[in-house]
Structures are given as structure tokens and as C-alpha cells.
Amino acid sequence: MAAVATDWRGGELDAADRALAEYAEKLTLTPGAMGEPDIERLRGAGFDDVAIHDLIQVTGYFNYINRIADGVDVELEPEMPPRPPR
């Protein structure tokens, strides 16, 4: 599981976890590119509408709170990897 912490592609994920990670990454990096095919891939991996809703909420909240923390330059916990140079 350590590989998943740095890059989810390096971890041994089942089909559902891989679909979840792909969706969360796309929603994070290119939210304007999301569409019905992305939802259908999740459904094909076994996610129902409640699980998809939860995935969207958790991903959105995580992105939101990280941007707040970055905006006020919150110090990272000691176990976190350092930020890239600015």
C-alpha cells in the first residue's frame, strides 16, 4: 500500500479501487472534462449512485481543504513529503 500513497498506479488495486482512483484523479486535475462516460465507468466497476455521490463529495472536499491550506501556507506535518520549491 505504500506505493499507493505516492502514485496509485504503482499499487496493486482491484478494478473498483482503480476506477475510483482514476475518477478522483480526473476530477481533481481536469474537472471540466468530466462527463457521463466517467460515471458509467464507475457503475461498470460496481459503484451505485450513493457510492458515486460519496466519491465526488470526498474528492471535492479534499481538494477544497487542500487549497485552503495552501492558500494560507499551512505547515505540513513532519511525516508529509516536502512541498516542491516555489
**Any domain includes 47:** yes
Distance CA 70, CA 55 (A): 22
CATH of the domain at 36: 1.20.1290.10
pLDDT at 3: 64
Rounded to 5°, angle at Cα 13 from 46 and 42: 25
**Any domain includes 55:** yes
**Any domain includes 51:** yes
Percent above pLDDT 90 for the chain: 64
pLDDT single digits (tens) 6-22: 788 888 899 999 999 99
Q: Are 29 and 22 in contact (CB under 8 A)?
A: no
Structural domain boundaries enclosing 47: 14-71
Structural domain tally of the chain? 1
Residue 29, pLDDT above cutoff 90: yes
**Any domain includes 41:** yes
| pTM as predicted | 0.81
**Any domain includes 61:** yes
**Any domain includes 62:** yes
